[in-house]
Amino acid sequence: MIERLFKVNTEEYMLPGNRACQGCGLSLAYRYALKALRENTILTIPASCLTVLHGLYPTTSVAIPCLNCTFASTAASASGIVAGLSALNRSGITVVAVAGDGGTYDIGIQALSGAAERGTDFIFVCYDNEGYMNTGTQRSSATPMGALTTTTPLLTKQQNKKDMLKIMEAHDLPYLATTSPSYPIDLYDKFVKAKRIKGSRYLQISAPCPPGWGYPPKDTVKIGRLAVETGMVVLCEIEDGKFRLTGRSRSLAERGNRLPVSNYVERQGRFRKISEEQLSNLQRWVDNKWNEYLRRAEGS
Ligand SMILES: Cc1ncc(C[n+]2csc(CCOP(=O)(O)OP(=O)(O)O)c2C)c(N)n1
Ligand code: SF4
């Protein structure tokens, strides 16, 4: 592992002094993602915490060119950049769209599905903090069951999280992967791989968010690890249809020592009103997904 760390790009593309909150999981992940993507990259991002992190024109905390687009149009914006580069005969530049779960699972899904169906040569990255965090923690279709948000203030969210990976996999993409900033080498390697592959690639980052999830900023890495240890988040990749568990999720599968979901839930204020029934529903949902992943991993 130490030897592997020395192979990580030492350039920094996230400059000191960005405007994300203390302990932001997105900013940890983004630093490693940009190191893997390197200079010959153009970003496009919609309204989100990431826009705030990038900063206000004419200053920015990110040393990679970036186009701000409207909420629904992230993947369409990327398609336009790809077409523009092609018209100018510019090759060797990776176009990367990055959006939150609101901008991916909900508002950006139509443009994303269109670009993926056309096989647009780009990477779409969803950082999933499980809510509309920039505007004050509203519920999204990525919010897990039992979480409190400002639009589910009394009864918590009643529905399970949408399976966006499955939706994107149905587009027959050459590469899809899930990542977490608590496992930076796994994340870095997947971004390096995605950059080498052609066609539409989809990467999902589980991005813990201290104010939205209700835990102290110092615990972001711990919370991200617990998400994986309990199976709430599963680290995997799908390359040309071949499914693989990676990193910590693979070793959990081999050793069979996954933790109960309650270990994850009890550390976050957003779950303070989860009922016993919801907690057992959540555990059942995680168990079913996990078993499905195990079957796929065994069959591949
Ligand atoms: C069409 C449109 N609707 C609403 C907004 C207001 N808005 C700006 S950022 C944001 C939340 C974005 O949520 P998400 O995509 O999950 O990213 P996060 O804020 O969590 O980083 C909203 C609702 C907007 N800018 N444009
Ligand atoms: S609200 Fe959450 S996702 Fe947004 S900048 Fe703060 S910690 Fe990061």
Nearest CA to ligand 2 atom 8: 24
Is the pLDDT at 57 greater than 90? The verdict is no
How many A from CA of 103 to the centre of ligand 1? 7
For the chain, list the domains and their CATH numbers: 2-299 (3.40.50.970)
The pLDDT tens digits of the residues spanning 231-258 come to 999 999 999 999 999 999 999 999 999 9
* 55 HSE (CA, 13 A, CB side): 15
The pLDDT tens digits of the residues spanning 91-148 come to 999 999 999 999 999 999 999 999 999 999 999 999 999 999 999 999 999 999 999 9
Nearest CA to ligand 2 atom 3: 209
Ligand 1 atom with least separation from CA of 209: 20
pLDDT at position 157 is 98
How many A from CA of 50 to the centre of ligand 1? 10
Nearest to 216 by CA among 53, 36, 19, 23: 23
Ligand 2 atom with least separation from CA of 22: 7
Is the pLDDT at 298 greater than 70? The verdict is yes
The pLDDT tens digits of the residues spanning 26-54 come to 999 999 999 999 999 999 999 999 999 99
Nearest CA to ligand 2 atom 2: 209
Claim: this prediction has a pTM higher than 0.95: yes
